[in-house]
Structure 1
Amino acid sequence: MRNLRVRHGLSQEALSHASGVSVRALADMERGRTRGPQRRTVQALAEALELDDDEAASLERSAALGRPRPRTAPAPVGPGSLALPRDIRDFTARGPALARLLKMAQDAGPGLPAVTVVAGQPGLGKTAFAVHAAHHLAPRFPDGQFALDLHGMDPEPTPPRDALARLLGALGVADAAVPVATDDRVGLWRSLAGERRLLLLLDNAADEFQVGPLLPSTGRSLTIVTSRHALAGLESVHRTDLALLRREEAVELLTRIIGPDRVRAEAQAARDLADLCGYLPLAVRIAGQRLLSRPHERLGKLVARLATEGRRLDGLQAGNLRVRAAFALSYRQLQQDSQVLLRRAALAAGADFSPETAARLAGLSHDEALARAEELTDAGLLQSDVATERYRFHDLLRLYASEQVAAEDSPEVRDAALDRTADWMLRRATAAALHFDVEHEHALSPGDPDPDTAPTSRDEARAWLEAEQTQWLAALRRAHGTGRHREVLDTAQAMHWFSDLNQHWEQWVEVFQLSADSARLLGSRQKEAVHLNYLAWAHNSCTHDTQAALTSADAALAAARDSGDGLQEGWALGYGAGALQRQGRVKEAEKRLREGAHRLATENSPQGRLAELTILNTLGTLLRQTGRAAEALDLHHRSERICRAGVPGRTDGVITLYLAVTRLHIGNDLAALERWSEAEAPLRQALTALEASQVPAWAERTRLHLGQVLAATGHPEARTTLRTARDALAALRSPLQMEAVEALAALDDIGVATA
């Protein structure tokens, strides 16, 4: 104190006036009569002397050494101490998280001590990060840095009472002076910690009840808590979220472990190894340690071993480091229902799953499954979607869960779970798809397995069908494979109109291949004709495989004639003609279309009228494309008259849709005749109606043709219209996107003005 005062040119009286500390107290400090002034006294003097942080910390250390202690002997350093574990030499990545933690420590005020929780799934490197951060932060906490393993994954985690005894011992409190009651230990610990600047690492915490009593309540301490659980009940804490490593970070970690020469020699194998480890730090470290212990083994050899899913977890072990063991610790801690849900969820198809899927697989109610899924998310065993109630596994955790379902559930139990889930999924998918079927447009969705949660509108039905696309398709496969062919037909039939609104989904080929096979196995030639026609449509419109489309259409034609179904015969002729036309066999295509139109003209059903409209429009398109635009326009005007007259038994919405498509053709006919100004109006009308009907495949086709007409007239909207069409067609994976690209290029060539 005397040295600092004299250096700043102050008398005792001047320093007393500036700090509020009495002259007598200052004199006692400088003479050594007062060896341990209170922290607030030291802070007041440091502020009056305008000391920097290092000088203030040095002064506080001097004062702290002189304060009375319950025990004068220092805390022991050895196996029983709370010294920080050694830092990891090859620690990699985590720069942003470390920077945030350092800033939090720097900005911490004298009020509420800072606490950060580092939580997440097994293997993320939470402890390694916390230890690394603690070593970086240690100089800021001169009064002690303590690390305490709370054994949260053990059958009996460390009780708060025992943890408090160890912390008090680390502060120098004699065993005999440690209070008996837990509350008294909490009080003493917080009183002593509040006077010190401590860094506390509480590793492997079990829950909030274990951690809460250990947190200092005042002072400038920093506590880092690691846990596999979210510890969401802890208030006023920061959260340090550790993500999986990026691919390049995983390769960097591997490089630091085994050396750059081996990684450079097999760069692609190193990247593949990072991929197979799922970018999980523990898995990458184990792979690296295994390779380090075998200096002559090629990386490609380990990659080949891990590439087989059934051997991957076996390969990810090195000494006592094992990915499987890390997962098992968390799994054994779960309640029985949570264990069942975790392992059965591995049976779900696709990258993620909903609570409904998990409930069916685990044999739980929806609410129970949701509660268990949230518990597993808090335990770091599942990852939840940020916007919807959907969950996913880390790849390695899914493999572990699959092992558990194979070990703990018999084949009969697994089959029952899959059948139960498939049945529920198909019933919900069928009911949702019927929202788009013109024959059920105003009806409630029948047969839904849970009417209380069923989609009630087209928007909700579409959202469910899109989100659960992988699940209901897997259910369709299972139903087909287990002989439930009637369910397959019902679902595929319900999907018919919905599929037409989503022609960019290539899986329609599989859907209708399964249903056509089921119809054949049921021995129904008429149903086989229906679903073979759907299959021909899917090959034509979704995958653009003209030969497969022609084969399916020919098979449908044979089945329709065998069963005497004139409607399906007409459709088969039309789908076959579409395939032939795309192959350049125009005369054959025209012959089939005329035959199909003639056959459908004899059909008096509403379905027959709609099919006739489709065939007439397709025939008109062929005529236009072969230089007979005037004939095509006459044919399309005939279709327009049929639409305006209406079709008994069909709603205005359906007829509006057909009229829109017909107007698209009329606009294209007029454009082919270079009657540009007349072509614009029907194309705009068609686009408005098709957008309102939410038929993107047809709407974007129309936008393309409108853009071409606008370009021909030099309209300022041409470029914007074509760009919008190009991007949308690309998203739909439509071959027409190239036509849009070429139209835009032509605009550039002729220098048409932009909007």
Structure 2
Amino acid sequence: MENDASGRGEFGQLLYRLRGDAELSQEQLAHAAGVSVRALADLERGRARGARRRTVRALAEALGLDEAGERALERAAAAGRPRPQAGGTAVVRGALALPRDIADFTARGPALDRLRAAVRQADGEHAPVAVVSGEPGLGKTSFAVHAAHRLAEHFPDGRFAVDLHGMGHEPTEPRDALAALLRAVGVPESGVPAGTGDRAGLWRSVVRDRRLLVLLDDAAGEEQVRPLLPGGGRSLTIVTSRQALAGLEAVHRCDLGVLRREEAVELMTRIVGPERVGREAQAARDIVDLCGLLPLAVRIAGQRLAARPDERLGKLAARLADEGRRLDTLQAGSLRVRAVFALSYRQLGPAARRVFRRAALAAGPDFGPEIAALLADLPIAQAARHAEELTDAGLLQPHPTAERYRFHDLLKVFAGEQVAAEDGPEGIRAALERTDRWILSRAGAAALRFDADHHQDSPHADPDPESLPAGQEGARAWLEAECANWLAALRRAARAGHHRQVVDVAEAMHWFSDLNQHWELWVEVFRSSSDAARALGSRQEEAVHLNYLAWAYNICVHDHQAALAAAEAALTAAREVGDRLQVGWALGYGAGALSRTGRVTESIAWLRDSAACLGALGSVQAHLGELTVLNTLGNTLRQQGRAGEALEVHRRAELICRAGAPGRSPDLAELYGAIIRQNIGNDLAALGRWSEAEPELSSALARFEARDVKPWSAPARLDLGRVLARLGRRREAFEALTAAHEALGALNSPRRQEAAAELDALGAVR
């Protein structure tokens, strides 16, 4: 009987009219505001006379009301709220006795120790208050109850617990909680004041001279908690909340995190039994990992197994491995991970919910406000505010140093379910297409900061030039931070057949890729771009990107057979279109692959042909290629025991570089000069001229470090360490080789083994 207006009351009539104006069904408005359809129907029909302020705010936002409209709705709601009689008290929900402790409670020892220390240090002037916060499922209430039982002996005058129902539709009013607490400590009904302020004052007065422990569970926010806190005395108040309650001053914070893996396995062992876990130890580890080490999820998995004594742990691990069934599997009786997450999700306003669920579409381990804003189709400032709101609500985890956020694994699964259900395929597609266009444009513009053929300060068609990161350092930081997102966008562009976009972005990345030679993703990037160029029918661009691919195979993943195949394909394409520059590059890349596969004589011949081809062209790009090839030729000759010839080749490269061959960029000239000095230093070392080699290598290393190019500085440090050892400067050699070993390992470089061998030899000498 939705159209019956009789008995509705002012609020119900107004809400019904506003919903009609917005052309929303009850189901649509209930979903947008995060309330149940039944609760909304009761409000409209007058069965529930006055909605709480939080509900009014959610309804106003879902209806799109302005400030005046929200105020009018709030006035109507306030008029219908019941008012207690003078001196009377409403009944607070939740018993005041502490809940029972959990016998199999596991871990949290350090947090409990810190809380115990806070109790010992209480000075009587300021009653200690502990706030236990964190994301859903961390076991905040379990920890608080466990701590209360462990600390009970310090509080002989009473231990009480009040459920504040912060996640419920109607959170407990501070006035009602105070009445219950006052009665619990012996204040007669007639002595309980009517007003919240008077009750709070009486509570502070009564508590000052007693040693009480009060657990305020599931707080909605600071306004609800503040009147319940004592002033002076030695009573302890423990507050649990999914909100950070950052506005509470001078409190002890217990920010719980997920369990360590061994702690999670211990919890499962206590629930399931050591024999079952011992028989399937790896399956137990897999289960807790798939639970994201979240205490609630581990407990549910354990209790599910305990209720099925004949079920193998491996069976549950296999079910949890299916991400689409994971949240369905994580339920045992009334305990359900999805329900716990949904409770927090429903507390959010529509825009915050949109940011939360669409952020699940972001690739990689974390994301920044830009990506959140693009996916949610909101201004960046608004998306950033909602990301902070989600962090305070425990639904996102903040990065310790950057303005970036990440999901707990299970929360990301939940967010993915919500985006699929609420936005559907079309909404998801639109969000990703909008984000992909923007991020690929930004990625190309940022990468071109490193291109020697472009002016470094030009925005290069960036989608938002005003927010483009400043300079090469800013561009590099952005490209590295958003690597997973722009790579995912490039993949989708390739699948969608946006071939020109793929080629252009990969071309922009060419120079930047040199700074991150350890990234295996360059194989995927340049394989996609060479395929895209082929699809476009551009054999010239195909030759270019096949050469990039050959480089990536050679340098990034050390697959030299694949590198040779890519170089040969590039050589064929370049010869077909008469592109001598790409012919020269293909010969050079192919020569590198030949050398690394043991075909050294062929490699040297290819390198000489490449140098001759490039040297004859006379262009800036050709000179860059000639320098690269000469460096490779000299290194190959040195590795063949022909260090004298190698030194001649590298001296020739040095002359070309000094003549200004690297072109428009002084930084590029400096970088090429450093590479040549490193090679000359290694040639001199191979000739046993150690004292001459040391300054060349030191100079090269200093230049690499000044430009923060670790793929080049780490090998140079290894070369320098080897020379220092031969010069008898063992302490310096040890420091250089140790640092090189660590850096080469981080770069996944095969030269790490060389550093280890040099350290072993140095240790034997020492």
Whether the 8 Å contact between 1:480 and 1:514 is mirrored in structure 2 is yes
Select between 172-181 and 575-584 the one with higher mean Cα deviation: 172-181
Amino acid at match of 1:487: Q
Q: In the alignment, does 2:742 pair up with 1:727?
A: yes
Q: Distance in 1 between matches of 2:481 and 2:411?
A: 22
Residue in structure 2 matching 1:736, options 751, 761, 765 = 751
Q: In the alignment, does 2:212 pair up with 1:198?
A: yes
Q: Distance in 2 between matches of 1:651 and 1:171?
A: 78
1:443-487 Cα shifts (integer Å, max 9, x gaps):
333222223322112222222122111111111112212222222
Q: In the alignment, does 2:394 pair up with 1:380?
A: yes
Residue in structure 2 matching 1:412, options 399, 411, 426 = 426
Which residue number corresponds to residue 408 of structure 2?
394
Amino acid at match of 1:630: G
SS of the equivalent of 1:646 reads coil
Q: CA deviation at 1:321?
A: 0.5
Select between 398-407 and 622-631 the one with higher mean Cα deviation: 622-631
Q: Distance in 2 between matches of 1:129 and 1:349?
A: 34
User: Structure 1 residues 685, 101: closer, same or farther in 2, change over 3 A?
Assistant: closer
1:687-731 Cα shifts (integer Å, max 9, x gaps):
333333433223332332333333334344434333333332222
> Kindly, what percent of the aligned residue pairs are identical?
64
Select between 208-217 and 374-383 the one with higher mean Cα deviation: 208-217
Which residue number corresponds to residue 247 of structure 2?
233
Whether the 8 Å contact between 1:629 and 1:673 is mirrored in structure 2 is yes
Whether the 8 Å contact between 1:92 and 1:252 is mirrored in structure 2 is yes
Select between 431-440 and 185-194 the one with higher mean Cα deviation: 185-194
Select between 367-376 and 629-638 the one with higher mean Cα deviation: 629-638
Amino acid at match of 1:525: R
Which residue number corresponds to residue 125 of structure 1?
139
Q: In the alignment, does 2:762 pair up with 1:747?
A: yes
Residue in structure 2 matching 1:433, options 415, 427, 447 = 447
SS of the equivalent of 2:516 reads coil
Q: Distance in 2 between matches of 1:522 and 1:236?
A: 65
Amino acid at match of 1:519: A
Which residue number corresponds to residue 491 of structure 1?
505
Q: CA deviation at 1:179?
A: 2.6
User: Structure 1 residues 179, 543: closer, same or farther in 2, change over 3 A?
Assistant: same
Q: In the alignment, does 2:648 pair up with 1:623?
A: no
Q: Distance in 2 between matches of 1:106 and 1:636?
A: 71
Q: CA deviation at 1:79?
A: 9.7
Whether the 8 Å contact between 2:450 and 2:456 is mirrored in structure 1 is no
Residue in structure 2 matching 1:368, options 356, 360, 382 = 382
Q: In the alignment, does 2:240 pair up with 1:211?
A: no
Q: CA deviation at 1:310?
A: 0.7
Q: CA deviation at 1:195?
A: 3.5
Whether the 8 Å contact between 1:359 and 1:365 is mirrored in structure 2 is yes
User: Structure 1 residues 671, 648: closer, same or farther in 2, change over 3 A?
Assistant: closer
Which residue number corresponds to residue 46 of structure 1?
none
1:647-684 Cα shifts (integer Å, max 9, x gaps):
38433332232222223222333333333333334333
Q: Distance in 1 between matches of 2:376 and 2:93?
A: 46
Q: Which one has a bigger Cα radius of gyration?
A: 1
Q: In the alignment, does 2:231 pair up with 1:181?
A: no
| Superposition TM-score, scaled by structure 1 size | 0.86
Which residue number corresponds to residue 475 of structure 1?
489
Select between 646-655 and 478-487 the one with higher mean Cα deviation: 646-655
Q: Distance in 2 between matches of 1:723 and 1:219?
A: 56
Q: CA deviation at 1:347?
A: 0.6
Q: Distance in 2 between matches of 1:214 and 1:573?
A: 78
Which residue number corresponds to residue 38 of structure 1?
none
Q: Distance in 2 between matches of 1:293 and 1:338?
A: 38
Q: In the alignment, does 2:304 pair up with 1:293?
A: no
Q: Distance in 1 between matches of 2:662 and 2:520?
A: 33
Select between 536-545 and 464-473 the one with higher mean Cα deviation: 464-473
Q: Distance in 2 between matches of 1:101 and 1:694?
A: 44
Which residue number corresponds to residue 530 of structure 2?
516
| Superposition TM-score, scaled by structure 2 size | 0.85
Whether the 8 Å contact between 1:632 and 1:669 is mirrored in structure 2 is yes
User: Structure 1 residues 241, 568: closer, same or farther in 2, change over 3 A?
Assistant: same
User: Structure 1 residues 595, 334: closer, same or farther in 2, change over 3 A?
Assistant: same
Q: Distance in 2 between matches of 1:408 and 1:650?
A: 52
1:60-107 Cα shifts (integer Å, max 9, x gaps):
xxxxxxxxxxxxxxxxxx997411111111111111111222222233
Q: Distance in 1 between matches of 2:136 and 2:236?
A: 24
Alignment of 1:149-188 (within 5 A): 149-188=163-202
Which residue number corresponds to residue 558 of structure 2?
544
1:229-273 Cα shifts (integer Å, max 9, x gaps):
011111222111212111111111111112222222222211111
Which residue number corresponds to residue 18 of structure 1?
none
Which residue number corresponds to residue 67 of structure 1?
none
User: Structure 1 residues 148, 575: closer, same or farther in 2, change over 3 A?
Assistant: same
Q: Distance in 2 between matches of 1:521 and 1:345?
A: 33
Q: Distance in 1 between matches of 2:231 and 2:686?
A: 81
Q: CA deviation at 1:567?
A: 0.3
Q: CA deviation at 1:154?
A: 0.8
Alignment of 1:669-684 (within 5 A): 669-684=683-698
Whether the 8 Å contact between 2:624 and 2:662 is mirrored in structure 1 is no
SS of the equivalent of 1:205 reads coil
Which residue number corresponds to residue 569 of structure 1?
583
Whether the 8 Å contact between 2:563 and 2:590 is mirrored in structure 1 is yes
SS of the equivalent of 1:148 reads strand
Q: CA deviation at 1:570?
A: 0.4
User: Structure 1 residues 452, 633: closer, same or farther in 2, change over 3 A?
Assistant: same
Q: Distance in 2 between matches of 1:587 and 1:81?
A: 87
Whether the 8 Å contact between 2:570 and 2:582 is mirrored in structure 1 is yes
Q: Distance in 2 between matches of 1:674 and 1:188?
A: 88
Whether the 8 Å contact between 1:82 and 1:148 is mirrored in structure 2 is yes
User: Structure 1 residues 198, 510: closer, same or farther in 2, change over 3 A?
Assistant: same
Q: CA deviation at 1:745?
A: 3.1
Which residue number corresponds to residue 100 of structure 1?
114
Q: CA deviation at 1:362?
A: 0.7
Which residue number corresponds to residue 335 of structure 1?
349
Select between 657-666 and 422-431 the one with higher mean Cα deviation: 657-666
Which residue number corresponds to residue 40 of structure 2?
none
Whether the 8 Å contact between 1:81 and 1:170 is mirrored in structure 2 is no
SS of the equivalent of 1:440 reads coil
1:583-631 Cα shifts (integer Å, max 9, x gaps):
1111221221222222212212110111112222222222232233333
Which residue number corresponds to residue 273 of structure 1?
287
Q: Distance in 2 between matches of 1:232 and 1:500?
A: 44
RMSD of equivalent CA atoms? 2.0
Amino acid at match of 2:241: S
1:354-407 Cα shifts (integer Å, max 9, x gaps):
111111111111111110010011001111011111111111111111110111
User: Structure 1 residues 595, 158: closer, same or farther in 2, change over 3 A?
Assistant: same
Whether the 8 Å contact between 2:662 and 2:669 is mirrored in structure 1 is no
Q: In the alignment, does 2:129 pair up with 1:115?
A: yes
Q: CA deviation at 1:748?
A: 4.1
- Unaligned ranges ≥5, structure 2: 1-91
User: Structure 1 residues 79, 577: closer, same or farther in 2, change over 3 A?
Assistant: closer
Whether the 8 Å contact between 2:506 and 2:529 is mirrored in structure 1 is yes
Q: Distance in 2 between matches of 1:423 and 1:215?
A: 52
Select between 316-325 and 629-638 the one with higher mean Cα deviation: 629-638
- How many positions carry a matched residue from both structures? 675
Q: In the alignment, does 2:652 pair up with 1:638?
A: yes
Q: Distance in 1 between matches of 2:198 and 2:374?
A: 50
User: Structure 1 residues 734, 203: closer, same or farther in 2, change over 3 A?
Assistant: same
